[in-house]
Structure 1
Amino acid sequence: MMATNIPKQAVNQLKKALDNFKLNDAIELCANEAQTRKFLIEPFFEMLNYVSNDLIPEYNADFGERVSQKIDYAIVLNKKDTILIEAKKQNSRLTDKEAAQLNGYFNNTRNSKIAILTNGIEYRFYSDVLEPNVIDGKPFFVFNLSAYKDKDVDTLIKFDKRYIVIKEIIQTAQECVFTEDFENALFKELTEPTKDLLKIIHRNMNFKTKFNEGTQIKMRGFINSSLLKSLYDKKVIAESNSNSLGIVTTELEIQAYHTIRTLLIQNKKIPNERLGYRDFKSFFNISIDDNAKKVICKLVFNDSKMKMFIDNNEYALEHIDDVLKHKNELTNRTLALVE
């Protein structure tokens, strides 16, 4: 299935609308659920080009002979696909348990594949990937009006009335659930390695020993964070060496990255999960959020010399540890980018 082409201009327009939305003013007007709907939820969907007629309030979920129950809103697309929306009062804490009450509506509303739980600020998007007609335990996408990144806007635009394609969104949701499930299963396997995993590894080792209890205990002891970090670095280098772009990530660049990262995270204001790098054909960037506009420093390493650029300043390095001489400048640059 070919993905819908969404113009870059539309993404920029949505981001501008979100950035210009006076969130704090709206929050002050929200003392109850009705006001939350009026000043937060409805304007949010207006930014996604849904007019008042698209947002059907008190939508009747058909429970057959049972007592009729109404959900706060529904969006009916092309007279078939239905998005259900459960609204809570602003400042209500949203939990996945609260989403469970959507199950009844979800089960009994025809053609409903997406349900949204919101308090006007946080929007949790759910589907039924794991079990048909039963809402998944976790949302496949969360958008927060008070804290969002460019990648969140790139996902949100897919719900714009002009571009929304339910099948594509469900496919994305399936990918999200599969990826998370895979990561959890792999993490569990690496945290508590099973005999089956150890047997496969042992079978592929050149150093042959008996696969007994003692060997298994030794192997489990080897599988720790230090090993995984080392394997990660080797994987990065292997991938870069095998790609077709001529980009080769060297062990020296990886070593420099870890040295700089280690000195930066000594400052508690610098979140380690936002630090990263991207290799290019002639240089190596260390940045915040993998953002080309938030480069902490650029490394240019070749056979004859090593250089580091911090903003517009250029420094020659004799050894990797020379980066430590520039700790203050690296830290200040990073703090400015984080904020």
Structure 2
Amino acid sequence: MIATPTVIPKQAILQLKKTLDNFKLNDAIELCSNEAQTRKFLIEPFFFLLNYVSNDLIPEYNADFGDRISQKIDYAVVLNKKDTILIEAKKHNSRLTDKEAGQLNGYFNNTKNSKIAILTNGISYRFYSDVLEPNVIDGKPFFCFNLSSYTDRDIETLIKFDKRFIKIKEIVETAQEAVFIQDFEDTLFKELVVPSKDLLKIIHRNMNFKTKFNEETQLKMISLINSSLLKNIYDKKVLAEANSNSLGIITTDLEIQAYHTIRTLIIQNKKIDKERIKFKDFKSFFNISIDDNSKKTICKLDFNNSKMKLSIDNTDYVLDHIDDLMKYKDKLVTRTLALIE
């Protein structure tokens, strides 16, 4: 039987966002001059925000190293007397790197029922698991949260670690998905930067224009795989996806260009997560919204007639040229912020 994913109330997410926004980070940092103070004024309050209490945070947790010298990790959270989250603390101004996460490996490998480990300096929190190899921490975190800079999507992920909602199995599944996607992106990127002969051979075999697959052809193909080509392919992919989902609706290059322009203008505000800006084409207009939610429309574009028209919150603006969109940056940002807050 497939377990039903935990449903987290929207109100809980909004409350966490409000609490984080009100957290006086700079005041807390000023109180920290060493690791102990970092724990007291930054790390412990962070977990209190996630509804843990003092008794949940076990300090100087003993990692079982068998016959070796006993070593203690800064904190552990033991859930249901079984699942253990390990927490390694650093001073607030320490630079966290994936290499430092290696220090967690010994604890992680020797702590029963540990599937999640956190490396933190009180400001940045790096969440690790053992997706690639059992009992060995992955080289990169599957989630990072920074108290000084976070998005709504970050909060939606962080709330899953709230004591009231946390399900280790679900989090590990999320980690597996994140690691797979990142590994896929990294591998694809490497192939595109330095195309392998196998990739070139597949592309060449499927081309209509037939030539010999010799060194000259390979070098020519490699020279063509550049950022300009990939941008063109991306735009074609967006158009293909839009048109495949909308019978009888043709998304034009001009509409896609307008979408990219508006999206670029909007995300200059750091409070706005670029991943949440979506579009959907309709027969009579082109809609740009938050999370593809029709109730959270940022603006509408009407390029179907001889004149181009931009509509923001039921107010229409005539465009003489696509570049005229830049005149309405402030209105677009204001509208977007109103929809996400």
* TM norm. shorter chain > 0.5: yes
2:74 is aligned to 72
The aligned counterpart of 1:21 is: 23
SS at match of 1:124: strand
1:215 equivalent in structure 2:
217
Give the secondary-structure state (helix, strand or coil) at the position aligned to 2:99.
helix
Of residues 29, 40, 50 in structure 2, which corresponds to 1:48?
50
Q: Confirm whether residue 324 of structure 1 aligns to residue 326 of structure 2.
A: no
Q: Is the 8 A contact 2:101 2:119 kept in 1?
A: yes
**Equivalent of 2:154 in 152, 155, 170:** 152
Q: Which runs of 5+ in 1 are unaligned?
A: none
Structure 2: state its 5+ residue gaps. Answer: none
Q: Which amino acid is the alignment partner of residue 322 of structure 2?
A: V
Q: CA, structure 1 residues 23+337, in 2 after alignment: closer, same or farther (shift >3 Å)? A: farther
1:175 aligned partner:
177
SS of 2:16's equivalent? helix
**Shift, 1:304, TM fit:** 5.5
Counterpart AA for 1:134? V
Give matches, 1:172-321, under 5 Å.
172-243=174-245, 248-258=250-260, 274=274, 277-281=278-282, 282-285=284-287, 298-303=300-305, 305-309=307-311, 313-317=315-319
- Give me the whole-angstrom Cα distance separating, in 1, the residues matched to 2:74 and 2:113: 17
- Other-structure match for 1:129: 131
- Code of the residue aligned with 1:192 in structure 2: it is V
- TM superposition score normalised by structure 1: 0.87
**Partners in 2 of 1:308 and 1:258 — Cα distance?**
14
Q: Which moved more, 1:297-306 or 1:56-65?
A: 297-306
Distance 1:14 1:294 in 2: 22
Is the Cα–Cα contact under 8 Å of residues 297 and 311 in structure 1 kept in the other structure? yes
1:330, distance to aligned residue in structure 2 (A): 3.3
Structure 2 residue matching 1:45: 3-state secondary structure:
helix
**Could you list the per-position Cα deviations for residues 287-322 of structure 1 after superposition, in whole angstroms to 9, with x for gaps in the alignment?**
89999999875322225543123566523345xxx1
Q: Judging changes above 3 Å, is the alpha-carbon distance between structure 1 residues 307 and 215 closer, same or farther for their aligned structure 2 residues?
A: same
Shift of residue 250, structure 1, vs aligned partner = 2.4
- Separation (CA, whole Å) in 2 of partners of 1:317 and 1:174: 46
Aligned counterparts, 1:36-115, within 5 A: 36-115=38-117
CA distance, structure 1, for counterparts of residue 307 and residue 99 of structure 2: 57
1:292, 1:41 → 2: CA distance? 39
Determine if contact 1:274/1:289 at 8 Å carries over to the other structure. Answer: no
4+ runs deviating over 4 angstroms: 244-248, 258-262, 273-277, 285-297, 310-313, 331-339
Q: Does the C-alpha gap of structure 1 residues 222 and 308 become closer, same or farther in structure 2, counting only changes over 3 Å?
A: same
- Letter matched to residue 280 of structure 2: D
Between stretches 280-289 and 140-149, larger displacement belongs to 280-289
Question: What is the Cα deviation at residue 96 of structure 1?
Answer: 1.3
CA distance in 2, matches of 1:278, 1:188: 29
Q: Deviations over 1:150-172 (max 9, x none)?
A: 00000000001111111111111
- Give yes or no for contact 1:63–1:108 (8 Å, CA) kept in 2: yes
Change in CA separation of 1:235 and 1:325 when aligned onto 2, cut-off 3 Å: closer
Q: What is the SS of the residue equivalent to 2:45?
A: helix
CA distance in 2, matches of 1:123, 1:337: 31
What is the DSSP-based 3-state SS (H/G/I as helix, E as strand, rest coil) of the residue aligned with 2:54? coil
Equivalenced residue count is 332
Q: How far is 1:258 from its partner?
A: 4.9
Q: Distance in 2 between matches of 1:252 and 1:292?
A: 22
